Amino acid sequence: MSGELNSKIGAHTIAEILSEPATWKACLQRVESSGELRSLSSKLLQQVEWVFIGCGSSFYLAQAAAASWSILTGGKSRAMPASEIMLFPQALPIPCQPVLISRSGHTSEALEAAEYLERAQNLRTLAITCAQDAPIQKVSSHCIVLSDADEKSTVMTRSFTSMLLVLQCLAAIRGNRRDFLEAAAQLGEQMSTRLDGIRETVKGLVKERGAFADYVFLGQGPFFGIAQESMLKVKEMSCSYAQGFHTLEFRHGPKAIVSPETLITFILSESGFDAEVAVLEEIKKLGGATLVVTNAANAAVRRSADYLVELELKVPEVARTAASVVTGQLLGYYTGIKKGLNPDEPRNLTRVVMLEGTA
């Protein structure tokens, strides 16, 4: 591991991935000590749909956060790309409680959406970012800043998981889910004991099999956004072809792509475990290579998984979403290194998307 951290190629990315458990702990301790989540819960709208808004990784974070919000509060929620609000504003439910997600706080579309919601719709937005004194803080009525989770690398890793956990904790406060809050506080410590094993599993997979022609990531419920984000990590860091689907939807046409050159990653839930394992068994028979991320594997999973990551976390299902994306992050990193790329500086990408004329 020290060699990876000392290398000039991908050093920021791997360091940031490996720092995630400690970063979660730091971020959660900060918002707990400040009391800002409880204060926000009392200030933000009640009895309306919550709309989580982002671009790229932040949109996939929004998908996971929206599903988590409904699970933890029982309230309505949805995720929308910031661009959709600008191009099809009629799709936005009014009234609603908008939540803008932007690591940098500079993303053009997120800023335009915030300005539209605040000024044209007279909605008090909540923003969450990892940057101090970012433009989105000036536009939004409320802002959570997680400076401990900011990154030097282009791709989002610890910022994604940290912002997701904090938004989940806000949902747990609104939903009076003390069990989740207690579990979230322990998540970093539990994950720190599992991280080396996960890293070795993914590293071994890439060393043994190299790069695949196609990568597929499957998840349901709050894990769908995690599957999407895992897909994006492999695309960004390794410039590989990757796709994401709801697990059971993969049967309905997409399974035609399965071959020995396809790596299908199953991010299994507890809620849909039996149905999702049935898809795993079906896909394994079609000849695809399988990687399974689950909290605990049974005999059927072990038979059908070519590579297996067992998280073994003693936390509620929804609290495992952040931990479940780490495998995809590592897969993107090690595949990129295998292909001779620098995961710190992906091809054609910049750390912040700022559109011409909107800066």
Q: For 265-319, write each residue's pLDDT tens digit.
A: 999 999 999 999 999 999 999 999 999 999 999 999 999 999 999 999 999 999 9
What is d(CA 226, CA 272) in angstroms, rounded to the nearest whole number? 15
One-character DSSP codes across 338-350? HTT--TTS-TT--
DSSP secondary structure letter of residue 250? G
* Burial status of residue 265 (CB atoms within 10 A of its CB: 0-12, 13-18, 19 or more): buried
- Taking residue 122's Cβ as centre, other Cβ atoms within 10 Å add up to 9
What pTM was estimated for this model as a whole? 0.95
pLDDT at 87: 96
Residue 83 binned pLDDT confidence (cut-offs 50, 70, 90): very high
The pLDDT score that the predictor gives to residue 3 is 58
Would you place residue 5 in the very low, low, confident or very high pLDDT band (cuts 50, 70, 90)?
Answer: low
Q: Dihedrals φ, ψ of 20, to 5°?
A: -60, -50
- The rounded Cα 307 to chain-centroid distance in angstroms is 21
At which residue do the structure tokens 């990408």 appear?
349
| Mean pLDDT of the 157-162 span | 98
Q: Contact, 266 vs 291, CB < 8 A? A: yes
CATH for 2-189 is 3.40.50.10490
Q: Where are the domains of the chain?
A: 2-189, 194-338
Closest CA to 134 of 153, 151, 147, 148: 147
Residue 359 has pLDDT above 80, yes or no: no
Q: Indicate if the pLDDT at residue 8 is higher than 90.
A: no
Q: For the chain, how big is the Rg over CA atoms in Å?
A: 19
* Angle at which helices 158-174 and 178-192 cross, to 10°: 160
Model confidence at 353: pLDDT above 70: no
Question: Which tens digit of pLDDT belongs to each residue from 179-238?
Answer: 999 999 999 999 999 999 999 999 999 999 999 999 999 999 999 999 999 999 999 999
Strands 289-294 and 262-267: parallel
Q: Looking at this protein, which amino acid is placed at residue 359?
A: A
Residue 210's region, left for phi above 0, alpha for psi from -120 to 50, else beta, is left
CA distances from 270 to 73, 142, 221, 275, 321 (A): 19, 35, 10, 10, 12
Name the band, by pLDDT with cuts 50, 70 and 90, for residue 1: low
Q: Is the model's pLDDT at 351 over the cut of 70?
A: no
Q: How far is CA 57 from CA 102, 215, 228, 252, 267, in A?
A: 9, 17, 8, 26, 17
Which residue pairs, CB below 8 angstroms and at least 24 apart, start in 22-25? 22/188, 22/192, 23/148, 23/149, 23/158, 23/161, 23/162, 23/188, 24/161, 24/162, 24/165, 24/184, 24/187, 24/188, 24/191, 24/322, 25/185, 25/188, 25/189
Give the span between the Cα atoms of 308 and 300, in whole angstroms. 12
Choosing among 3.30.930.10, 3.40.50.10490, 3.30.160.270, 3.40.50.300, the CATH entry for 194-338 is 3.40.50.10490
End-to-end Cα spacing for the chain = 39
Strand order in the sheet with 96-101: 77-81, 49-54, 96-101, 126-129, 142-145
Domains 2-189 and 194-338 share a fold: yes
| % of the chain at pLDDT higher than 70 | 95
What is the mean pLDDT of the segment spanning 117-142? 96
DSSP 172: H
